[in-house]
Amino acid sequence: MSSPVPTDEPTDLELIARWQGGDQRAATQLVERHAESVARFVGSVGAQVDVDDVVQDTFARAFASLDSFRGESSLRTWLFTIARRLVLDRRRSERRRGGGTRMHMEVQDADAVTEYDALDAVVADETERRMREAVARLTPTQREVFTLRVGEGLSYKEIAEAVDTTEGAARVHYHNAMRAVKEFLDD
């Protein structure tokens, strides 16, 4: 398996080095390159209302500790890891407050329809709406894995790093998710 086709664009590591040398445009390039992916991931795991905040915090934390990023994994995978931790932290905070009014991180079956009724305003296409609803009905872990595999094209190894699991477990989650999606769409 190969990584996405290389281009003449500077690599993430090159941009990081430029930013560390005082080039603010490099930071802008990095954010432009990865912010949408992070937002998609955060949105897919249920943090719909607070996506902006989570994405903002993800980059703030990542840039505050870029010295510790050695490039063993891709920057994007590392950003997903940070974003996921932030989502989990917010989920725990909501639970402690007994809330959950704004955050629907764990969209259960009963919640899914409500969550995606709200999305109908922006997702007009019926097929697309059904697709998103199918994903919303997955377990939180299945949803994370499925989103990273299908939406972002990450390998099982990268997914394992991002969601703190093993490659084997990621593969099982993916196939279980795919089976569940098919069953929902066949109904």
Partner 1 sequence: MTDCPDGDIRDLLPDLLHGRLDAGERAAVEAHLRECADCRDELELLRRMRTALRRAPAVNVERIVAELPPYRAPTQHRPARSWGGWRIAAAVTLLAAGGTSVVVARRGDRKPASVASAPATVATPAPRELALAGGTIGELDDSELSALIDDVGSLDAVTPADVDNAAAAGPIAPTTSNGTDE
Contacting residues toward partner 1, per CB under 8 A: 1-5, 19-20, 22, 24, 27-28, 31-32, 35-40, 43-44, 48, 51-52, 55-56, 59-60, 63-64, 66-67, 122-123, 127-128, 131-132, 135, 147, 149-153, 155, 171, 175, 178-179, 181-182, 185-186
Backbone conformation region of residue 165, classed left if phi is above 0, alpha if psi is from -120 to 50, else beta: beta
Cβ 11 to partner 1 shortest distance, Å: 17
Cβ(81)–Cβ(148) below 8 Å: no
Cβ 161 to partner 1 shortest distance, Å: 16
Distances (CA, A) of 44 to 33, 82, 84, 90: 19, 15, 11, 15
Cβ(119)–Cβ(132) below 8 Å: yes
Cβ 98 to partner 1 shortest distance, Å: 27
Cβ 182 to partner 1 shortest distance, Å: 5
Which residue type sits at 101? T
Nearer to partner 1, 9 or 128 (CB): 128
Nearer to partner 1, 111 or 184 (CB): 184
Cβ 148 to partner 1 shortest distance, Å: 10
From the list 151, 162, 143, 8, the residue with the least C-alpha distance to 77 is 162
Nearer to partner 1, 19 or 78 (CB): 19
Nearer to partner 1, 3 or 98 (CB): 3
CA–centroid distance for 101 within its chain:
21
* CA atoms within 13 A of residue 16's CA, in its CB half-sphere: 17
Nearer to partner 1, 14 or 36 (CB): 36
Nearer to partner 1, 96 or 126 (CB): 126
Stated as kind and residue range, the H or E segment containing 161 is helix 156-163
Question: What residues have CB less than 8 Å from 36, skipping those under 6 apart?
Answer: none
Cβ 96 to partner 1 shortest distance, Å: 26
